[in-house]
Amino acid sequence: MHQDIDSAAQDSAAQRPRAPVNDLRSALAHLESIPGQLIETDHEVDPHAQLAGVYKRIGAGGTVARPTRLGPAMMFNNIKGYPHSRVLVGLMASRKRVGLLLDSPPRRLTQRMADAVRNAIEPVTVPREAAPCQQTVHLASDPDFDLRKLIPAPTNTTSDAGPFLCLGLVLGSDPDTGHADVTIHRLCVQGRDELSIFFAPGRHIDAFRQKAEARGQALPVSINMGLDPAIHIGACFEAPTTPLGFDELSIAGGLRGTPVELVDCVSVAQKSIARAEIVIEGEILPNVRVVEDQHTNTGHAMPEFPGYNGPANPSLPVIKVKAVTMRHGAIMQTLVGPGEEHTNLAGIPTEASIYNAVEAAMPGFVSQVYAHTAGGGKLLAILQVNKRNAFDDGRARQAAIIALGVYSELKNVILVDEDVDPFDSDDVLWAMTTRYQGDISTMLLPKVNGHVLDPSQTPEFNPALPARGVTCKTVFDCTAPFHLRGEFERAQFMEVDPRPWAPALFADQEDEDHE
């Protein structure tokens, strides 16, 4: 997939003085000033499957079944059954748009995120009167309270287990140390005041839940929706970049140069993000489990990042909701999975984690890392390496091993030379076609932990695998051997500015080589 070239109009708008982005509304105000990045509709849409079906054709991209495309973010102002609600989708469903929202050229987002990790700023707590997220409070103790009527949680397909909160950022704390963690989890609305929550293996909040459950205690959490995109992307870093005890909200602080603001919840002993649009407060109950698709019996959960419907889980923990707080005119934010938005949320932090680790081990050797959309930002990475001598043939493969070590869910790594654009799939496949021989250019690492949502990572697919979520990891070395580099020099064309010959074609385009 080719990455779009940013237009000069967009670049100019992005550089104009503007108010700082510190929440969803300021992010949207910024996008409104840039043509083609945000559209609105007043046409009624059903949140049950129809909304996702519309956006699939507008801007979902990613591993969504074709036809799909990359396009603008979209605000739906007329939600069937919810006369006072709006739903935003696709805010981060384009690498270009993420760059605009994080003040970075798209090709430098890896480095921008890597720098934010190194310069993290811890969050701060503000008084309730300074927290817009608590402008309206709905307590679950009210007999009229019903989560299903209050929040227009969508379904992506007609076979989903139920309505899902697709961008609900869960904030929980270690019962022993008090250290906080934030993660996006699969949250299905199960009743008037109940949600199920799915934890992939190794998630920190699940470790907190297990500690509390072992004591027979509930774990208080907040679910934060409608956020500054820096918070969502910063929250998607994983160990070892963000080990247990590392607060991922500090990465958002590093991105913005100012701390994320928190506030004490109104109904549970936890904090929430002060400038969120919607916050659900609740407790993960000890020793209570629920079938994810108990109301639909579809057997499916929802579309997951590899492009397939995830299986409904037969036994998930339950969050008992205590309250919902909102801003006035609150915006419900969601994503259409498994689209480009998920790729950017998961993939850009993946890139930064790999980049920082390889840079620490071999400075200057890897110039770009791209967590490809075909892997949902998790399963496939392309590393651009800079060979300077024969020893670097081995260093390239070492860089791939570091990448696999630093991001455990990564499945395949493709190595390319510095003359290959890692963001251009045609260029990468060209390198694989002309600089790769399967029997000598492939490294296989069998029986290594991967990701349970990849349907090929099962003993049924490969009897050699001991359990679901274990995989054979592969490195595809598509770099030219250093001693043969002269045989692999690409045809060199004259560098010419084409605008005098085709001024209309290039009138709205900036230099593609902006770095």
**Residues noted as catalytic:** 304
Residue 428 to residues 5, 114, 420, 476, Cα–Cα distance (Å): 18, 24, 7, 11
Q: Which residue has the tokens 């490809």?
A: 372
The C-alpha atoms of residue 417 and residue 384 are separated, in whole angstroms, by 6
Pairing of strands 73-76, 194-198: unpaired
Q: Which residue has the tokens 């108990």?
A: 294
Residue 37 to residues 8, 67, 98, 514, Cα–Cα distance (Å): 14, 20, 11, 20
Write out 370-383 in H/E/C secondary structure.
EECHHHCCCCEEEE
| Helix segments in 16-165, DSSP class H | 24-32, 50-58, 95-101, 109-118, 147-150
Amino acid letter for position 136? T
Closest CA to 456 of 343, 400, 379: 379
Helices and strands in the chain, H and E counts? 13, 23
Bond into 286 cis (ω within 30): no
Residue 149 CB neighbour total at 10 angstroms = 11
Helix, strand, or coil here: 368?
Answer: strand
State residue 484 phi and psi, 5-degree precision: -110, 15
Contact call for residues 158 and 224 (beta carbons, < 8 A)? no
Bond into 338 cis (ω within 30): yes
Beta-carbon contacts of 373 under 8 Å, excluding residues fewer than 6 positions away, are: 1, 61, 62, 63, 340, 343, 347
Contact call for residues 234 and 256 (beta carbons, < 8 A)? no
Helix, strand, or coil here: 352?
Answer: helix
Give the number of C-alpha atoms closer than 13 A to the C-alpha of residue 494, restricted to the C-beta side.
3
Helix, strand, or coil here: 394?
Answer: helix
The C-alpha atoms of residue 443 and residue 137 are separated, in whole angstroms, by 56
Residue 315 CB neighbour total at 10 angstroms = 9
